[in-house]
Chain A
Amino acid sequence: GAGVSQSPRYKVAKRGQDVALRCDPISGHVSLFWYQQALGQGPEFLTYFQNEAQLDKSGLPSDRFFAERPEGSVSTLKIQRTQQEDSAVYLCASSNSRSGANVLTFGAGSRLTVL
């Protein structure tokens, strides 16, 4: 596609529910990143994929967070047993570079509100 597409744009979950957020990166982009942006803060790195391989998951805040990209294109970020502190905008970004200096193209984000 022309840009990075994320769905749903808005998600309200009750505490304890599981949620799944989807990212469609730009076609052909090798690298895919997930970021979490809390209100009034900058995006914080969660995890990174190169094709289908998850090469860095150092930013995932707990084992309730899980991400996958099984075919090296679409990615899903899953949050189990959601907590109020999980409320944030989840941003997906992709790039066609495997390393080094490169520009990430971001999607519009999925805003998660946990009640």
Chain B
Amino acid sequence: DQQVKQNSPSLSVQEGRISILNCDYTNSMFDYFLWYKKYPAEGPTFLISISSIKDKNEDGRFTVFLNKSAKHLSLHIVPSQPGDSAVYFCAASGVVSGNTGKLIFGQGTTLQVKP
């Protein structure tokens, strides 16, 4: 079973507009969530994270929102830039994953920002 799901394989937005990437999880024992960004032929790079004790975390153009009751998180990028075009992965960890820091990843969403 997929414990972390990104149901949108792709998203296309215009430069300057907001990009919203969504992620759902099934296990309420996850307590730490991260977003990674991946360019072709490179490894995933850390973007932003949020602990389950918070519902929002902001870093520059990037904001992550967590809705624990809905088991849903989202990444907002505003304004979107062409350099943001990449694959975005949602990941989760917690006691349920052995509390080792092991991350469970979603399938990824490919974001294209058009100039």
Minimum CB distance partner of B98 in chain A:
A56
Quick check: is B1 within 8 A (CB to CB) of the other chain? Answer: no
Range for the number of chain B residues in contact with chain A: 20 to 34
Residues of A within 8 Å of B103, CB to CB, are 33, 43, 45, 104
Q: How far is the CA of A62 from the CA of B99 in the complex (A)?
A: 24
In the bound complex, do residue A95 and residue B101 qualify as a contact, i.e. CB atoms below 8 Å apart?
yes
Contacts of B99 in A (CB 8 A): 99-100
A50 is an interface residue with CB less than 8 A from chain B: yes
Interface residue B102 (Cβ < 8 Å from any Cβ of A):
yes
Partner of A31, one of B44, B46, B101, B108: B101
Indicate whether A42 reaches chain B with its CB closer than 8 angstroms.
Answer: yes
- The answer to whether A4 and B43 have CB atoms under 8 Å apart is yes
Q: Is A48 an interface residue (CB 8 A)?
A: yes
Contact of B43 among A55, A103, A106 (CB under 8 A): A106
Interface string of A89-115 (1 = CB under 8 A from B): 001010101111111111111000000
Q: Is B93 an interface residue (CB 8 A)?
A: yes
Taking A42-B91, A45-B102, A103-B46 as known contacts, 19 extra A-B pairs with beta carbons closer than 8 A to each other, sorted by chain A number, are A31-B100, A35-B105, A40-B107, A40-B108, A42-B89, A42-B106, A43-B89, A43-B105, A45-B104, A99-B99, A99-B100, A101-B51, A101-B93, A102-B101, A103-B49, A104-B101, A104-B103, A106-B36, A108-B41
Interface residues of A (CB under 8 A from B): 4, 31, 33, 35, 40-45, 48, 50, 55-56, 91, 93, 95, 97-109
